[in-house]
Amino acid sequence: MSYTTVAHCGTDHQEWLKAIDFYDNELDILEERLAEVAKKNTGEEVMKGVEHFQNQFIIQRNTIDELRHYIHEHEGKVLRDVQIHAGHIETQQVVGHNALKEEFSGFEKVINELRDEFKRYLSKWM
């Protein structure tokens, strides 16, 4: 097996977890705004949007839970490798780290697009 320094992972785990907490809190705020829209407007078109965003928020919360789990899991693997291999990790951990980085970036893209879509919806109905 080949090994590399743990520096390849940097501080990504902690940054990702902080960002996930931010997005989780942001979803709380968006859900509150959605509840306001639903309360003030009862038309069919409005309610279709409400249902759409409720579903999207649920999906994103599930993604947040999964990402949080994967990040903690990967962080644990990296820490075990560091302890076992005197500050080094298997290169396979770097491959896993890069895959997790891509998954997190994809999540951020989706949640930012959802936020923008929701802002357009709010501007129409608030």
Nearest to 20 by CA among 87, 69, 81: 69
How many other C-beta atoms can be found within 10 angstroms of the C-beta atom of residue 81? 18
Q: How confident is the model at residue 6 (pLDDT cuts 50, 70, 90)?
A: low
Helices (H), 4-90: 12-40, 44-84
What confidence score (pLDDT) does residue 89 get?
81
Does 15 score more than 90 pLDDT? yes
Per the structure block, which two tokens stand in for 95? Answer: 């491959």
Q: From residue 35, how far is each of 31, 44, 51, 122 by CA, in Å?
A: 6, 15, 11, 11
What confidence score (pLDDT) does residue 37 get?
95
